[in-house]
Chain A
Amino acid sequence: EDQVTQSPEALRLQEGESSSLNCSYTVSGLRGLFWYRQDPGKGPEFLFTLYSAGEEKEKERLKATLTKKESFLHITAPKPEDSATYLCAVPQGGSEKLVFGKGTKLTVNP
């Protein structure tokens, strides 16, 4: 069964304190791994798609990396506006449906 597990469930950082979020997955035939950001009361906002082990993508203070078993979302010198829930998802084997992790709720304190 395809599974996505995110850790930690919640993370509190001070402004400027860099850290990483983890997304481990088991899926038959990876066809992409997606990272989204979700603010309270809003729909998920697309951040990155990674397709193959070793791939990295960056956007402002965020960098996503991918291995054969997991992905990391690195946050460098975070700011309070980076506070959100970060979701990881993979397409379910043989379909276009996404399997989501439960998310990591990030809080960045000023």
Chain B
Amino acid sequence: GAVVSQHPSRVICKSGTSVKIECRSLDFQATTMFWYRQFPKQSLMLMATSNEGSKATYEQGVEKDKFLINHASLTLSTLTVTSAHPEDSSFYICSAARTQETQYFGPGTRLLVL
């Protein structure tokens, strides 16, 4: 199967700082990447969809100025949590897909904001 990596796997930061999470498709070119967050014992919640070279599409209720997404190439997307606060602490997961094909997920990034 296709491999998607995320970096870092865990991050602890102070309230008010920004954190960048990278998502890479290692062995295929992804036309679309997705960003999810997952709270304990809950299913995945889609935050945004990004296509290479264009602006991300955010789900209702997700602040685009707080969660900045950049999809600079067919193998890399980044999510930046700006001015992070404790309520942003969560498990962030990306996925990558070719057009109309299976989404492959990264291993996730655990964010803890103190």
A residues within 8 Å of B by Cβ? 31-32, 34, 36, 41-46, 49, 87, 96-98, 100-103
Q: In the complex the two chains form, is A42's CB within 8 Å of B108's CB?
A: yes
Q: In the complex the two chains form, is A98's CB within 8 Å of B43's CB?
A: no
Q: In the complex the two chains form, is A46's CB within 8 Å of B43's CB?
A: no
Q: In the complex the two chains form, is B103's CB within 8 Å of A34's CB?
A: yes
A46 to B91, CA, bound (A): 18
B46 within 8 A of A: yes
Q: In the complex the two chains form, is B105's CB within 8 Å of A101's CB?
A: no
Residues of A contacting B100 in the complex (Cβ-Cβ under 8 angstroms): 31, 96
Q: In the complex the two chains form, is A49's CB within 8 Å of B49's CB?
A: no
B34 within 8 A of A: yes
Q: In the complex the two chains form, is B102's CB within 8 Å of A34's CB?
A: yes
Residues of B contacting A42 in the complex (Cβ-Cβ under 8 angstroms): 107-108
A41 to B90, CA, bound (A): 11
CB nearest neighbor in A for B41: A105
Residues of A contacting B6 in the complex (Cβ-Cβ under 8 angstroms): 43
Residues of A contacting B32 in the complex (Cβ-Cβ under 8 angstroms): 96
B21 within 8 A of A: no
Q: In the complex the two chains form, is B46's CB within 8 Å of A97's CB?
A: yes
Interface pairs (17), CB distance under 8 Å: A31-B100, A36-B105, A42-B107, A43-B4, A43-B6, A43-B93, A43-B95, A43-B105, A43-B106, A44-B44, A44-B105, A45-B105, A46-B105, A49-B102, A96-B99, A97-B34, A98-B103
A45 to B108, CA, bound (A): 11
Q: If A43-B93, A87-B43 touch, does A97 touch B49 (CB 8 Å cutoff)?
A: yes
A87 to B1, CA, bound (A): 17
Beyond contacts A32-B102, A43-B6, A46-B103: 11 other A-B pairs, Cβ-Cβ < 8 A, are A34-B103, A42-B108, A45-B105, A46-B2, A46-B105, A49-B102, A96-B49, A96-B103, A97-B46, A97-B49, A102-B43
Residues of A contacting B76 in the complex (Cβ-Cβ under 8 angstroms): none
